[in-house]
Amino acid sequence: MVVSSNEIAVSETAFQEQMVALTRAFGWHRPTHTPCGQPVSIAEAHALLELSRVRSMTQQELADKINLQKSTVSRLVSGLEARDWIARRRNGDDGRARDVFLTPTGEGAAADLASARRKKMDGILDRIPLERRGALADSLQLLIEAIHESND
């Protein structure tokens, strides 16, 4: 099958419009709330959820995990520390590095975020027919890989 340049252009435009629609539908464009409606930024939510999975990590490791610059994570950590959600201490192996970890208050906030995320995602998944979920998972993985490759 031969595809005309007009069909390719329409496809590219449709893809762009779908990505914008996805961003808006999920609320990724709202800086002060997560897509599941929690009153924290998406970056804060990602930091809390990553820290909830481990005992502690360095700020650089956190930056790598959530794909943000070290300076951005430093400001993010300061804000979370001001809320008493995380604390910092010198790294035992590298005195120049700082470990970050959840406080008890932060553990509660992370648990609330995880619960809200699970509820939101379950509500979305429930609306997708079982027979189409595999194709959706494959498409999302393809999209994630393409995004990572385009960032190289």
Q: What is the pLDDT of residue 24?
A: 92
Q: In what order do the strands lie in the sheet with 57-58?
A: 57-58, 98-102, 86-90
Parse the chain into domains and list their residue ranges.
1-30, 31-151
What is the mean pLDDT of the segment spanning 116-125? 95
Report pTM: 0.82
What percent of the chain shows pLDDT beyond 70? 93
Q: What is the pLDDT of residue 7?
A: 58
What is the mean pLDDT of the segment spanning 90-117? 91
Torsion, Cα of 107, 48, 36, 70 (10° steps): 170
CATH number of 31-151: 1.10.10.10
Secondary structure element (H or E) that encloses residue 87, with its range: strand 86-90
At a CB cut-off of 8 Å and minimum separation 6, what does 94 contact? 58
Residue 57 pairs in a beta bridge with 100
Does pLDDT of 21 surpass 80? Answer: yes
Break the chain down into helix, strand, coil percent, rounded to 5: 65, 10, 30
